[in-house]
Structure 1
């Protein structure tokens, strides 16, 4: 099979299964080996965490670029289009390069299938192989690699990074890497590699010993938030690590520890960059789908918060900044495997919530929401109609929040700006 267009590639990727019967790394290792192990030919930083891993990855990518490094970035999910998943120096992979790399990977798959007809990749393995091959072909100095889910068994866990990063640990994806927070901590500790430093962020004390034990076993130096580096937020964000002290501008709903984690990981690479340039790199970083304001009066906010911790932070902030004369309208869908009841408990009684869905297999339909949620809130299966209906109700002091899933955020961006949301060079 030969791909002719990026549409062909993406269509094929999403026709593949999502999971192997056996949850190991044997398939991704075989395809990477047939490609010449491109993941070993580029320096990497590996990032995991229940929340903040995407933001931290974007900050790290920008810091590396400011330091003059040719920088790859592999993140998920995408907000506007698939090409966001694989970036080079802050630019999405062009369609022509996506086709080129996919044909290279596909040719190797066909060769492997001659010896083993049962050999096949799942979607995320294929995407991971695309990213590593693209970064190698473009001779990246560094690539920032965000895990898909977890750590130990994640398909990206085939690298020996210069630095490992664990941003936070909380309850999410319990059915896959849980069910307990201790199980999740064990899984995420799997990215800690022998004699390579690890930066730990906002980690609960209850599971910190699990991570420290793994670091001790691998002889990895640990840099722990609050012990080895600090961050304080008042009118601005004050960061301190060793003899480095930097002040960053405070940004709405930006977790200060995401910034601190990224800067600490960057310092461990020992790349020359003035503190003013570090400050500039952070301040200029835009993170798609995270507190993304698409209208100011009335305010319309898109945020892909999809677990308890992220949603609590988001709603707490919006309830604080909301005008006393205004209302908070919310359009929400989530994935079926999330803690739906606990998330909806975070909304206040006066919040005007509308439930919806998106055309994605894991997305909640009406009967997937808990009974008490269905009884309390209106449901509109047509997200376009639901969104326009809420927009029409807004006064200038109101806020409309679209949240619960990056898939919904992406869908609403298509509604608001269908040309720019899908256009490519």
Structure 2
């Protein structure tokens, strides 16, 4: 099979099992000889900021000269981004080898349990752990898919766990309340292992602190054990030691701090200057990503109320001219509440990609019950808005990582419409 066929196979597997537990992933990992136990890991969950924190932490670990794996989701431009070694997406050859290893393991299990199979994220998770063990990674940074306790990555005993934020997202799967979501995400807290807590709402913080106490897990809490300030730059304070970083949005400042305090638990001998340079030079795909400066075009995969609110708040702070929004969301997101975050003078154009879950014009009109500007072809929509910009204007592409990836592929000349079918 070629790589495209392999990716199609994985992405067309079922999304969920009838029973939402870790039985299947544990069984496949046993058959693969427990690769997840052969690498030291860090585990990251949270409503927003997981990916950014994972990238920052992996780059800091990489700076020590060790071999570092990174598992993130979703990918932005190409599937191989999901599994990275030392900052680079895995090669097609390694992807094929991992696929074959997991498929062979499934066949072996099916000899005794003919009905056994994996869902998409389990297959990807198994490949990631197999690759990190095969490549002899010293550490691997693991981002959850959804949730925590029942997430398919929750089969590790990490060096430390990180919970970035708690907010409303995926309510139908891990909700419906903030307390339900906090309880699910608290599942990454492990016995006697540190847990780093970021910008956690006060009403659910006691739940996490109580879980940590029961697990005897030391807590490093934002605002108590480490501080973040954003003025002319970002200043992170850890044990009276100051680190200065280029100014980024407040949410990114928190993610940087979370990565840094987690990295500090390992006590590597690395200079403040090296740490600052590493963070300042880290570019995270589709997270406040600037693809053009004058006029400014920013691409961000924000897809829930908390993330979109943080994004538009930052854009308003830096805006000197008009703000244009190219928005494409999935049907299962709260489109109406997201739209209400925008000011009427911020010109919104809806669009969609060729993906089954992508919201259509009828979905949006039913949701909003008002006339909206809709351009079905995301490439045409992007070109039209880009051509309207004057030097001080800003165009923000947001609403989903699927749209962000499609636009980035379009900008880079790779018009892979079939990537999203």
In 1, Cα distance between equivalents of 2:65 and 2:241: 20
Q: 2:59, 2:279 within 8 Å by CA — same for their partners in 1?
A: yes
1:275 aligned residue (259, 267, 272): 272
In 2, Cα distance between equivalents of 1:259 and 1:37: 31
> Alignment partner of 1:301: what SS?
strand
C-alpha displacement at 1:221, in angstroms?
Answer: 0.3
Q: 1:253, 1:291 within 8 Å by CA — same for their partners in 2?
A: no
Task: Find out whether 1:21 has 2:8 as its counterpart.
Answer: no
| Matched residue, 1:334 | 329
In 2, Cα distance between equivalents of 1:420 and 1:355: 20
- TM-score (norm. length: structure 2): 0.96
| Matched residue, 1:85 | 82
Deviation readout 1:84-127 (Å, 9 max, x if unpaired): 00000001000011001110111111111111111010000000
Q: 1:175, 1:337 within 8 Å by CA — same for their partners in 2?
A: no
> Alignment partner of 1:115: what SS?
coil
Alpha-carbon RMSD: 1.6
1:384 aligned residue (379, 386, 394): 379
Deviation readout 1:63-102 (Å, 9 max, x if unpaired): 0011122100000111110000000000100001100111
Q: 1:366, 1:374 within 8 Å by CA — same for their partners in 2?
A: no
Deviation readout 1:373-393 (Å, 9 max, x if unpaired): 352421122212222222222
Q: 1:413, 1:421 within 8 Å by CA — same for their partners in 2?
A: no
In 1, Cα distance between equivalents of 2:169 and 2:266: 30
Unaligned runs of at least 5 residues, structure 1: none
Query: How many pairs does the alignment contain?
Result: 417
Deviation readout 1:163-192 (Å, 9 max, x if unpaired): 000011011111110000000000000000
C-alpha displacement at 1:299, in angstroms?
Answer: 1.6
C-alpha displacement at 1:421, in angstroms?
Answer: 8.6
| Matched residue, 2:362 | 367
| Matched residue, 1:258 | 255
1:59 aligned residue (56, 59, 77): 56
Task: Find out whether 1:69 has 2:66 as its counterpart.
Answer: yes
- TM-score (norm. length: structure 1): 0.95
| Matched residue, 2:306 | 309
| Matched residue, 2:141 | 144
Deviation readout 1:311-355 (Å, 9 max, x if unpaired): 1111112122222xx321111111122222211101111111111
In 1, Cα distance between equivalents of 2:156 and 2:56: 20
In 2, Cα distance between equivalents of 1:372 and 1:62: 41
* Range moving further from structure 2, 271-280 or 152-161: 271-280
| Matched residue, 1:204 | 201
Task: Find out whether 1:344 has 2:339 as its counterpart.
Answer: yes
Task: Find out whether 1:232 has 2:229 as its counterpart.
Answer: yes
| Matched residue, 2:100 | 103
Task: Find out whether 1:395 has 2:384 as its counterpart.
Answer: no
Q: Taking structure 1 as reference, are residues 372 and 147 closer, same or farther at Cα in structure 2, changes over 3 Å only?
A: closer
In 1, Cα distance between equivalents of 2:367 and 2:90: 44
C-alpha displacement at 1:254, in angstroms?
Answer: 5.3
Unaligned runs of at least 5 residues, structure 2: none
| Matched residue, 1:411 | 406
Q: 2:175, 2:181 within 8 Å by CA — same for their partners in 1?
A: yes
